């Protein structure tokens, strides 16, 4: 079984990579690849040359969906598209993604996994893993977080694992590339301790059930 993941940023890729290595690839005949984009972008509107191969997941999705549908034909494979919900209506967003797949006549096995609000919520969903990775985490802020809520999730995670870092980052106007490096570190370090079955994030559990369903069918 081959898994092809399309994700919007490096921290999402790092989390999925450690989860697959720790909990899935020990199974026979399982392999995977993660294609990482530079942000989520948006659905194409004007279809101008500037919108072609932007490196943004939603902008390029109508290119990659049929591309993988063709290249993975004839093998047992599943395409997972993992995106942040941000402030979008989840049902409407999912419908838009499905409409695109149908429009492109995608026949392979695929699934759209929408993290609510962000993939960072999946890290907050395993509090035991988070505290193992960061014993000095701010437990008050962690307790105040409401799972899969629209609340500025990555900022909430930052305040939990590195109290005061976000304020300093904003004051010093740290570039987003450095913020991305920190988010990747959190993903790797918390992900290393995660127990997927215990994760309290509903959006994570949907993602993990879809992975496990395909693995168990091998």
Query: Residue 174 has what pLDDT?
Result: 86
Q: Burial-class residue 8 by CB neighbours within 10 Å (0-12, 13-18, 19+).
A: buried
Could you list the beta-strand ranges (E) of the chain.
2-7, 31-36, 77-84, 109-115
What is the dotted CATH code of the domain comprising 2-118+200-216? 3.40.50
* Predicted model pTM: 0.94
DSSP 8-state class, residue 6: E
- 217 contact partners, CB below 8 Å, separation of at least 6: 1
The mean predicted confidence, pLDDT, of the chain is 94
Query: Residue 132 has what pLDDT?
Result: 98
For range 70-90, the mean pLDDT: 96
Beta bridge partners of 34: 5
Query: Residue 26 has what pLDDT?
Result: 76
**pLDDT above 70 (res 53):** no
Asked if residue 185 lies in contact with residue 164, where contact means CB atoms within 8 angstroms, the answer is: no
Q: Pairing between strand 31-36 and 109-115?
A: unpaired
For range 161-173, the mean pLDDT: 90
Query: Residue 48 has what pLDDT?
Result: 57
Query: Residue 49 has what pLDDT?
Result: 53
Query: Residue 217: pLDDT band by 50, 70, 90 thresholds?
Result: confident
Query: Residue 121 has what pLDDT?
Result: 98
- 164 contact partners, CB below 8 Å, separation of at least 6: none
Nearest-5° Cα angle at 173, 170 to 174: 95
Query: Count of CB atoms within 10 A of residue 50's CB?
Result: 9
CA atoms lying within 13 Å on the CB side of residue 94:
11
Rounded Cα distance between 109 and 71, Å, is 13
DSSP 8-state class, residue 150: S
**pLDDT above 70 (res 176):** yes
**pLDDT above 60 (res 10):** yes
Which tokens hold the place of 56? 């943004």
For range 92-112, the mean pLDDT: 97
Asked if residue 13 lies in contact with residue 7, where contact means CB atoms within 8 angstroms, the answer is: yes
User: Looking at the chain, which residues constitute the CATH 3.40.50 domain(s)?
Assistant: 2-118+200-216
């Amino acid at each position: 079984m081959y898994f092809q993941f399309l994700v919007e940023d490096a921290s999402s890729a790092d989390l999925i990579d450690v989860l697959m290595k720790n909990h899935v690839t020990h199974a026979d005949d399982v392999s995977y690849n993660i294609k990482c984009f530079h942000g989520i972008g948006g659905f194409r509107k004007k279809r101008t040359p500037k919108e072609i191969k932007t490196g943004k997941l939603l902008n390029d999705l109508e290119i990659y969906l049929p591309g993988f549908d063709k290249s993975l034909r004839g093998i047992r494979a599943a395409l997972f598209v993992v995106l942040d919900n941000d402030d979008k209506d989840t049902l409407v967003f999912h419908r838009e993604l499905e409409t695109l797949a149908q429009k492109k006549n995608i026949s392979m096995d695929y699934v759209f996994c929408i993290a609510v609000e962000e993939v960072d919520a999946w890290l907050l969903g395993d509090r035991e893993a988070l505290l193992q990775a960061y014993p000095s985490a701010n437990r008050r802020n962690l307790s105040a977080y409401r799972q899969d809520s629209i609340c500025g999730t990555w900022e909430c995670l930052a305040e939990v694992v590195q109290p005061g870092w976000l304020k300093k980052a904003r004051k010093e106007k740290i570039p987003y590339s450095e913020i991305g490096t920190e988010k990747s570190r959190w993903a790797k370090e918390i992900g290393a301790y995660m127990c997927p079955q215990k994760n309290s994030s509903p959006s994570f559990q949907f993602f993990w059930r879809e992975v496990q369903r395909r693995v168990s069918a091998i």
